[in-house]
Structure 1
Amino acid sequence: MDAALREVATALARAERVLIITGAGLSADSGLPTYRGIGGLYNGRTADGLPIEAALSGSMLQRDPALCWKYLAELGGACLKAAPNAGHLVIAELQRLIPGCWVLTQNIDGYHRAAGSPVERLIEIHGELAPLYCQSCAAQDDELAAHLQRPLPPRCRLCGGILRPPVVLFEEMLPEAAIATLYAELRKGFDVALSVGTSSTFPYIVEPVLRTCERGGLAVEINPGLTPLSAEVDIRLVGTALDVLPKLLSHISNDRICK
């Protein structure tokens, strides 16, 4: 893998525009569960006998908010107990070194922000866990941790309506602003697209990598297992984000990247 690492590092050192796509595998190294893939928590059915796609859906939040919040609370509790890992820090450092480096993340844990990734070059395509807001009166609530210690679902202190996080649940539309930003940047093109720890099951995650390939850019995947993208990328680095990203950064010369 050393030769492949050096090749990817060289490409990053020369690149002006880079897209790093991250999935649950990146935050798994912080101790968070993944939905699918190796060690995926929800490869089968939930404790309630439902697929996670049904339990964490927009319709379930409306029909049975307590059940939906049971699994939102599981995710929220895990995110609050953990912290960004070295992989998040490497990505933030790459963004510091490469002004044209963007991050597209499926993760809702907020760890990219916490690690120092600039918000103006961060696309959180599935939203984030906080702050909560009321579905009835739209009031904002910053007490996620406190609500997780109370009976679920959490209620608005102003009107008593049910609170929810600004995440994209299954069956819901992606945020228009995030999609618009993604495709605006895709039209400009990327020299390197790096897929990190994602099962690559969503078209909007796969498409940026394929488009980078079609335009002559370098497509790279970092993942311990095979994904739908594995046969399409130019270079596949087998391993977890925590295994690979620090080694990758160590191959990159700051003098070659800094403009």
Structure 2
Amino acid sequence: MDEVIARVAQAIVAAERILLITGAGLSADSGLPTYRGLCGLYNGHTEEGIPIEAALSGSMLQRDPALCWKYLAQLGEACLGAEANAGHRAIAELQRLKPECWLLTQNIDGYHRSAGSPPERLIEIHGELAPLYCQSCGAVDADLVEHLNKPLPPRCQHCAGVLRPPVVLFEEMLPERALNTLYRELGKGFDVVISIGTSSSFPYIVEPVLRTRQAGGFTVEINPARTDLSERVDVHLQGRALDVLPKLLGHI
């Protein structure tokens, strides 16, 4: 393992442009339940007997905001109940050392920001849980914690409209700005791409890895289990991001 980590570290040192891709496995090391779709707090169906994907959908937020917010609140409480770990901090330090190191995350918990990853090189492709904003008047309300302790759904203090987080719910489009940033940077090419703690089930997560390897770049997967991507990267590092990333940083 140490020899493989050293090999990956050498590739990082030699690289100018790097892309790190993170998924739920990284935050699982903080104690946050891994996601099933948006979250794995559930076993596929809610107490109401509907799929969690239906409860956490854009159409449900419009049709029955109280029901949608019941599960958004559980997700929010889980995220607020944990914090960034050594893996998040190692990524932030790597971004400090390498000015052209970009971070693409599927996670909505905000741990990368709190760990110190620079916002200008952070692509949150599924959005984030805060700040809330009003769907009616657009007013911003930053106090997620306060609203989780009040009756749901949270309401705008200006117009009483329903508040929502800037997160991508099921049935909704990915944020245009994040997509544009991703494909702008992908168009410039990357020397190294590292997939961390993700099952790589979305095309926009797999594509940067495959495109980079096809162009002659170096590709790595860090994951405790093997995925469909494992046979298509140069190196698969088996282990938790919490353990592997600090060791990797120690070689740089």
- Equivalences for residues 1-259 of structure 1 within 5 A: 1-36=1-36, 40-42=40-42, 44-252=44-252
Name the CA shift for 1:229/1:140 in 2 (closer, same or farther; >3 Å). same
Distance, in Å, in 2 between the alignment partners of 1:239 and 1:114 is 24
Structure 1: segments with no counterpart, 5+ residues: 253-259
- 1:170-216 CA distance string (max 9 Å, x none): 11011111111100100111111000011111111111111111111
Q: Which runs of 5+ in 2 are unaligned?
A: none
Paired with 1:203 and 1:223, the residues of 2 have a C-alpha distance of 18
- Which AA in structure 2 matches 1:92? A
**SS, match of residue 231 in structure 2:** coil
Q: CA contact under 8 A between 1:34 and 1:42: conserved in structure 2?
A: no
Q: Distance between the aligned counterparts of 1:47 and 1:3, measured in 2?
A: 49
Query: What CA deviation, in whole Å up to 9, does each residue of 1:130-179 have, x standing for no partner?
Result: 11011111111111101000111111111111100001111101111111
Provide the rounded CA distance (Å) in 2 between the counterparts of 1:235 and 1:85: 24
Report if the CA contact (8 A) 1:132-1:141 is conserved.
yes
Deviations 1:26-72 (A, max 9, x none): 111111111149x9444533333333222211111111111111111
Does the CA-based 8 Å contact 1:36-1:199 persist in structure 2?
Answer: no
| TM-score, normalised by the number of residues in structure 2 | 0.96
| Deviation (angstroms), 1:80 | 1.5
- Secondary structure of the residue that 2:232 maps to in structure 1? coil
8 Å CA contact retained: 1:25, 1:198: yes
Q: How many residues align?
A: 251
TM-score (norm 1): 0.93
Cα separation, 1, equivalents of 2:195 and 2:238: 12
When the two chains are superposed, the root-mean-square deviation of aligned CA atoms in Å is 1.5
Do the aligned residues in 2 keep the contact of 1:57 with 1:170 (CA within 8 Å)? yes
Q: Measure the CA separation in 1 of the matches of 2:58 and 2:228.
A: 27
- Structure 1 Cα separation of the partners of residues 51 and 227 of structure 2: 21
CA distance in 1, matches of 2:245, 2:47: 35
Cα 1:42–1:10, aligned 2, differ >3 Å: closer, same or farther?
farther
Aligned counterparts of 2:66 and 2:4: Cα–Cα separation in 1 = 48
Cα distance between partner residues in 1 of 2:36 and 2:239: 16
